[in-house]
């Protein structure tokens, strides 16, 4: 919800003025008045807010910024569970209550559920508490401040654990001069580890600006990591982006931070998103999408290899390889696959990659009714398979790739058949170049770049893409700021929810065990249902491995060689459990998978360098020797 507050100076009269807000009026507007002694001095006489005085506590004070006691507070707002509220502000119960106390020129923001207060340098604010369990957001005239309270460091509450977490997931890119140089960024002030700014706390400060302006409202990022001395799990992350350079503004906000015992419970105001089916879709695309939504069965696919573009020198060999492997799996399954997946980056280093029109038409070309598989096209903003310290996201926003995007759009439009279009999957991770982790700890940049492409497709008349928003199951970095809801591109920009959760099944001996499909996807059901109950879901990629030729031994911190396929029996059991759930999804016990309308097995192995050799670590490929697993697929797909 939004709050806009304006204090007007009048030159000759005293008026009582209500301040506008999302409820079309201040909750104690009768207490607001402005008096002017003369036209030249413009001295204001502000009347203290009685409602603020009724709840104000001394532990929230900030004397340096004028919040010494309730007599210095001239306005007050209560947000209860994300909504501006006129209820009794002293009654907290188990709600998520956030207070805004207005002084003469600043606002004291008190987050009761998370136990902290801070002062913001304006009384003209728009606030967003829709994801109150994850973050709070404050919009000023020229800045947007996002604040999160973090407590998910898995490495232990000690200095070493903090150093691992901090260097791996916070400082790794925003603290790297090489990263800044590679991405046309620079420090507007040298990064700091400051122990004086807020007594009793260590504050890590990053002030970054675009060296070359891009087509984005905010050109300056000021980031602060605030950790209490002796505390190594919990910390605060402040990400402020501004239209102008103002490096000391965030310093002053951090200086005003105080903590107290929390009251109530943080909640997300955001409820179920509305599914909006585009009117501009082709009739064929609408018909396929409606079929997916209404079916109780699951449409199936398996990924063997990415399709080359038509001009690629590997075209014929890749075409034959994919064709042969799909035929092999269909024979083993005794089932004709419904979906054919592929992956395409923006480019491979300097070479743009086009939509594989020819091979897609030959191997896919399905519409859900013509006996051919429907294409799932995963498009990723990466130039080097998500490796390295360069992100294309800033260039995407700035329009560098607009010409290539329009070409891709025209190629997809010419393909005509429905496309399951999955853009930038697994964004809530630390291994994709379009993640917030690689883009100034700001998921908004992901959203901006998503909407950029969507709008180009609309301009080019693409009417056959079903857009899939596909986070990974467990967000990494472990954090609130990078949780998947922070990346939601918007109801107008996606039509399906993608799921991804792998069981790598790489244990040894007595330690070999798996989480069942039911356990894993019940977790995702519970996580997603409050927000995406209206959408059809697709497991855009997943799998249970069979035991790699090497496994990572945490005790020795190295890979150890082992027997390939040693856990194939557990894999077969996992697949059997999966089909038990899918094929009986009308039973109450399996209701968790009713929204799942399609699934794609990732039948490709993961590799790592072990002793100088490329070695299988996650054995996901459904090879012929995995006879028990293939048999469970055959039985499950044919409902035996």
Decide if 582 contacts 598 (C-beta within 8 A).
Answer: no
For residue range 367-404, list pLDDT tens digits in order. Answer: 999 999 999 999 999 998 777 789 999 999 999 999 99
User: pTM of the full predicted structure?
Assistant: 0.92
For residue range 275-295, list pLDDT tens digits in order. Answer: 999 999 999 999 999 999 999
Closest residue by Cα to residue 411 from 346, 375, 454, 357 = 357
- Which part of the chain is CATH 3.20.20.80? 283-545+565-599+621-637
pLDDT surpasses 70 at 1: no
pLDDT surpasses 90 at 38: no
3-class DSSP string for 94-143 = CCCEEEEEECCCCEEEEECCCCEEEEECCCCCEEECCCCCCCEEEECCCE
pLDDT surpasses 90 at 53: yes
What is the spatial distance between Cα 105 and Cα 539, in angstroms, rounded to a whole number? Answer: 51
The secondary structure of residue 485, as a DSSP letter, is G
What is the spatial distance between Cα 534 and Cα 274, in angstroms, rounded to a whole number? Answer: 7
pLDDT above 90 coverage of the chain, percent: 87
pLDDT above 70 coverage of the chain, percent: 93
Could you report how far apart the first and last alpha carbons of the chain are, in Å?
52
Supply the pLDDT for residue 45.
54
Q: Report residue 115 as tokens.
A: 């136990």
Residue carrying the six token digits 């407590």: 151
Residue carrying the six token digits 């020819």: 358
What is the spatial distance between Cα 575 and Cα 603, in angstroms, rounded to a whole number? Answer: 13
Supply the pLDDT for residue 46.
80
Supply the pLDDT for residue 425.
98
What is the spatial distance between Cα 122 and Cα 5, in angstroms, rounded to a whole number? Answer: 9
b/e string for 157-181 if b means 16 or more Cβ within 10 A? eeeeebebbbeebbbbbbbeeebbe
pLDDT surpasses 70 at 107: yes
- Cα→Cα distances 222→121, 187, 204, 266, 433, Å: 15, 10, 11, 26, 21
pLDDT surpasses 90 at 305: yes
Supply the pLDDT for residue 167.
97
Closest residue by Cα to residue 475 from 113, 144, 131, 154 = 154
Closest residue by Cα to residue 354 from 311, 293, 389, 319 = 311
The superfamily in CATH containing domain 283-545+565-599+621-637 is Glycosidases (3.20.20.80)
Supply the pLDDT for residue 509.
85
Supply the pLDDT for residue 384.
85
Query: What is the maximum alpha-carbon separation in the chain?
Result: 91
For residue range 474-498, list pLDDT tens digits in order. Answer: 999 999 999 999 999 999 999 999 9
Decide if 495 contacts 535 (C-beta within 8 A).
Answer: yes
Peptide bond between residue 477 and the one before it cis (omega within 30 degrees of 0) = yes
């Amino acid at each position: 919800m939004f709050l806009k507050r304006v204090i007007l100076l009048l030159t000759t009269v005293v008026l009582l003025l209500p301040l506008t807000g999302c409820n079309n009026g201040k909750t104690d507007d009768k207490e607001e008045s402005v008096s002017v002694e003369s036209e030249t001095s413009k001295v204001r006489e502000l009347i203290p807010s009685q409602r603020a005085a009724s709840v104000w506590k001394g532990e929230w004070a900030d004397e340096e910024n004028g919040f010494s006691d309730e007599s210095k507070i001239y306005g007050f707002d209560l947000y209860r569970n994300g909504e501006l509220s006129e209820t009794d502000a002293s009654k907290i119960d188990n709600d998520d209550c956030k207070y805004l106390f207005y002084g003469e020129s600043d606002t004291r923001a008190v987050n009761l559920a998370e136990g902290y207060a801070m002062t913001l340098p304006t009384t003209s604010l728009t606030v967003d508490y829709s994801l109150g369990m994850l973050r709070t957001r404050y919009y000023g005239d020229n800045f947007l401040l996002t604040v999160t309270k973090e407590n998910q460091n898995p490495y232990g509450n000690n200095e070493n654990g903090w150093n691992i977490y901090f260097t791996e997931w916070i400082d790794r890119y925003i603290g790297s001069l090489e990263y800044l140089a590679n991405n046309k960024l620079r420090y507007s002030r040298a990064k700091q580890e400051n122990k004086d700014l807020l007594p009793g706390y260590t504050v890590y400060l990053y002030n970054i600006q675009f060296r070359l302006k891009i087509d984005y409202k905010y050109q300056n990022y000021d980031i602060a990591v605030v950790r209490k001395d002796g505390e190594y799990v919990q910390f605060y992350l402040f990400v402020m982006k501004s239209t102008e350079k103002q490096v000391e503004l965030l310093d002053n906000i951090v200086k005003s931070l105080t903590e107290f015992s929390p009251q109530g419970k943080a909640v997300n105001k955001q409820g179920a998103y509305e599914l909006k089916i585009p009117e501009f879709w082709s009739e064929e695309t609408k018909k396929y999408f409606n079929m997916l939504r209404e079916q109780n069965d699951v449409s199936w696919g398996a990924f063997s290899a990415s399709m080359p573009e038509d001009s690629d020198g590997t075209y014929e060999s890749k075409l034959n390889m994919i064709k042969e492997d799909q035929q092999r799996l269909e024979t083993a399954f005794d089932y004709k696959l419904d979906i054919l997946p592929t992956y395409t980056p923006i480019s491979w280093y300097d070479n743009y990659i086009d939509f594989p029109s020819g091979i897609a038409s030959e191997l896919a070309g399905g519409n859900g009714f013509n006996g051919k598989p429907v294409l799932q096209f995963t498009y990723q903003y990466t130039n080097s398979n998500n490796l390295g310290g360069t992100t294309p996201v800033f260039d995407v926003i700035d329009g560098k790739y607009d010409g290539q995007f329009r070409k891709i759009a025209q190629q997809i439009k010419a393909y005509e058949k429905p496309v399951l279009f999955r853009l930038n999957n697994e964004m809530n991770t630390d291994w994709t170049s379009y993640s917030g982790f690689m883009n100034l700890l700001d998921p908004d940049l992901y959203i901006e770049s998503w909407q950029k492409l969507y709008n180009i497709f609309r301009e080019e008349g693409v009417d056959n893409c079903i857009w899939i928003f596909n986070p990974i199951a467990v967000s990494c970095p472990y954090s609130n700021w990078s949780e998947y809801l922070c990346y939601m591109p918007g109801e107008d920009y996606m039509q399906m929810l993608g799921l991804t959760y792998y069981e790598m099944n790489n244990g040894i001996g007595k330690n070999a065990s798996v989480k069942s499909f039911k356990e894993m996807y019940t977790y995702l059901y519970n996580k997603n249902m409050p927000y995406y109950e209206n959408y059809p879901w697709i497991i855009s990629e997943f799998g249970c491995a069979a035991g790699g030729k090497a496994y990572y031994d945490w005790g020795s911190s190295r890979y150890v060689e082992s027997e390939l396929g040693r856990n194939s029996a557990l894999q077969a059991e996992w697949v059997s459990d999966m089909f038990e759930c899918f094929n009986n999804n009308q039973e109450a016990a399996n209701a968790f998978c009713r929204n799942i309308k399609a699934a794609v097995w990732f039948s490709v192995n993961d590799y790592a360098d072990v002793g100088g050799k490329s070695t299988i670590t996650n054995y996901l490929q459904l090879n012929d020797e995995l006879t028990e697993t293939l048999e469970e697929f055959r039985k499950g797909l044919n409902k035996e």
